[in-house]
Amino acid sequence: MRQVRTIRYRQIADELRSRIDAGAFGSARVLPSESDLSAEYDASRVTVRKALEVLRDEGLVASRQGFGWFVAGDPVRQSLGRLGTIEQQLADSGATPEQRIVGFGFVKAPRRAKEVLGADTVLRVVRLNLADGAPFAKVTVWCPEALGSAFSRDQLERASFLELLDVPLGGATQTIGAGACIGADAELLGVPVGSPVLECERVTRDAEGQAVLLSQHVFPAHLTEFVVDLPVADASISPSGLRLVE
């Protein structure tokens, strides 16, 4: 009886497909490196890459330079057109938002927080933001002691600073850059150390222009997209509402 020869890379693709369907790669959806998969399946990296390319052609996985392979899916999209909470945007899109406080306390203001907020002591809150149970951001917020003393840890697990602040808000400035994930953040977000992240700093001001919040956000680059609406405006070298930061 003639035996049908199993092509090795297709066999690996089948096994990886089953693992993806079973949710074996965790909430951050990151696959092991090609080198690790090569050792696991006792196959060359060329064979492993061909298997991954089969899954990519099926739309199951994707890759990013400097990051590796991950399970494909819709990223968390955030609109930068207005001041609001990502939790509300997620809820509006049908996702279930959640925030877990992993650090809460009054501390001596670090240099950047003192520079922005003009306070010597600040409330520092570190939280992990999740969408449908999957982490998508690590956020650190500093608030002047005079304002932060009104908040409890329990309150901030249920609502955001923007919802709790008892001052009229005038707007915010958000700066977005690229970086590499450090150890502590990588552990929280479930991504490899050194993987690409988007790093955002937001300064929120009251109606009189005084800074009331400084927040720093770390987003895994493979899970995040920022969306900006660009209205028609007078001819300019840069898009309306955006400016380049050198």
What pLDDT, in 10s, does the model give residues 181-196? 888 898 888 888 888 8
pLDDT band at 52 (very low <50, low <70, confident <90, very high): very high
Could you tell me which residues come within 8 angstroms of residue 21 by beta carbon, excluding any fewer than 6 positions away?
none
Please give the average per-residue pLDDT across 190-210, as a whole number. Answer: 89
Domain 76-227: give its CATH superfamily. Chorismate lyase-like (3.40.1410.10)
Mean pLDDT of the chain: 83
Mapping DSSP onto H, E and C, the string for 28-94 reads CCECCCHHHHHHHHCCCHHHHHHHHHHHHHCCCEEEECCCEEEECCCCEEEECCCCCCHHHHHHHCC
Please give the average per-residue pLDDT across 28-52, as a whole number. Answer: 89
pTM of the model: 0.74
Every domain of the chain and the residues it spans: 8-71, 76-227
**Strand-pair category, 97-108 with 76-79:** unpaired
Q: What are phi and psi of 174, to 5 degrees?
A: -120, 125
**66 has pLDDT over 70:** no
Q: How many CA atoms lie less than 13 Å away from 58 in the CB half-sphere?
A: 15
CATH 1.10.10.10 fits 8-71, yes or no: yes
pLDDT band at 125 (very low <50, low <70, confident <90, very high): very high
Least confident of 13-17, 80-84, 155-159, 238-242: 238-242
76-227 has the same fold as 8-71: no
Please give the average per-residue pLDDT across 129-142, as a whole number. Answer: 88
